Every structure is written in C-alpha cells, then in structure tokens.
Amino acid sequence: MGLLDFLSLNKNAPDLTPAYTAIMAQARKPDHYGAGGVPDSFDGRFDMLAIHVHLVLRRLRSEGVARDDIGQALFDMFFRDMDQAMREAGVGDLGVGKKIRKMAQAFYGRAAAYDEAIGKAAPAKADSETANALQAVLQRNLYPDGDDALGGDKLKALAEDLLALESKLADRTLEEILAGHVFEAA
C-alpha cells in the first residue's frame, strides 16, 4: 500500500490527460511569472496551477459533475503531479506525504477564498469589484509576507485575466474540456 493510494486512478472517469495538460500549459505560461506578478518559485507555480484547476472544477460544478468521478479524477491528477514534482525536487518519501497533506489543505483554503472572491455570479457578470476581491486573495496567497515589490497593477491584471478565463470556460462544453480545449484562444 503506497503513500498516495487514496489518489488511485478512478476507473469510472474518462481520460483527463488532455484537459490537465491544457490546464498546466495555461498555468505555466511564462508571462505570469516574474514581471507578470507571480513569484517564479514552487509555491508560485503551485498557486497558479491550483487556481487554474479550481476554475475548471468550478466549471464542472456548474455542470453538476465537480464531485463525481470527473472532478475527483482531476483533483487526483493534480496531486499526483505535485507528488511527482516534489520527488523530482528531492523531497524524500517520508516528507512527501506530509507535504501533500499541507498542499491539499492549502488548495481547499485557496478554493474557498477564490469562491468567496469570485462569488456565485455568472462568469460573464464579473465586474471590477470581483476583480478587486480576487486581486486581494491573490496578493495574500502569492505574497503571504506582504512583500509584493511589483505593486498591485500586475496582480489586478492577473485577476482580470483569470476572470476572463472563467468566462471562456463557461462557453466550453464538458466534451471540449475533456478533450483539452480548456483555455484555447486565451
């Protein structure tokens, strides 16, 4: 029995590799990092991947499938990827489990904060108040020590970009999302 057996492959879910690959590509766009406002660190990359996964989970939730096999499989794929990244970074077997638990707690905390900031409004209805709320959450998560040397304009632009991505996701069918057409033309 392995450390991550709870993340075993869900036999009832479709192959989410194309969807997850598209999510990773969007989250890892180089223009997000450094001058883009997101620290180019493991934590910064985790935060970007977490919010992009969460945006897709929000979209799945609107279809009524976030908590079923598909949503769970996406969540599991994300944490298998984090497990692999930590191992590649040299974290030992004993430390990975503890770090995964902390990351899962961090993900759930961030998801709740993102949901509170974005709210229940339709994605196309996001306004400057929503962008400001999301910017505040990004500021808190990306710069927990309050040391954002880039200023709020970069994070404001990032918040607006993320809200635009959520709006694009609203136009995607479940089949398009599963096929990896998640953030095309984004």
**Residue 185's closest CA among 167, 173, 156?**
167
pTM of the model: 0.86
Q: What is the mean pLDDT of residues 55-65?
A: 86
Question: Domain spans of the chain?
Answer: 18-178
Q: Would the pLDDT of 103 be above 50?
A: yes
Distances (CA, A) of 68 to 75, 91, 154: 11, 31, 36
Lowest model confidence (mean pLDDT) among 13-17, 22-26, 66-70: 66-70
Q: What is the mean pLDDT of residues 174-182?
A: 90
Q: Would the pLDDT of 21 be above 60?
A: yes
**Confidence at 6, pLDDT banded by 50, 70, 90:** very low
- Average predicted confidence (pLDDT) for the chain: 84
pLDDT of residue 7: 45
Backbone angles phi, psi at 121, to 5 degrees: -65, 155
pLDDT of residue 2: 42
Q: Is 35 helix (H, G, I), strand (E, B) or coil?
A: helix
Rounded distance, CA 182 to CA 20, Å?
9
**Residue 174's closest CA among 7, 16, 12?**
16
